[in-house]
Amino acid sequence: MHKLKLGVQISGRGSNLQALIDACAGKDFPAEIAVVISNVADVEGLAKAKAAGIPTLTIPHKSFPTREAFQHEISTAHTKK
């Protein structure tokens, strides 16, 4: 079965992320998490993603002059690898 690849944005503990990780572990679940992106380094959610073997990125929102520039960076981050 082809699985939809998800990018998940987090900013903290990653409680919703953990629910997605658990759901994606089911062999019949139609999606998998391809990357987890946080705007804050060293948050608990990034550790959860790393423990699950999911690639992570940190993109600090304060590095961008506008919200639109930040959102653009997030939406194109996967193409810069």
pLDDT by position in tens, the chain (length 81): 799 999 999 989 998 999 999 999 999 999 999 999 999 999 999 999 999 999 999 999 999 999 999 999 988 886 665
Q: Are 26 and 55 in contact (CB under 8 A)?
A: no
> Contact at 8 Å (CB) between 68 and 38?
no
Kindly state the tokens that stand for 17. 């992320």
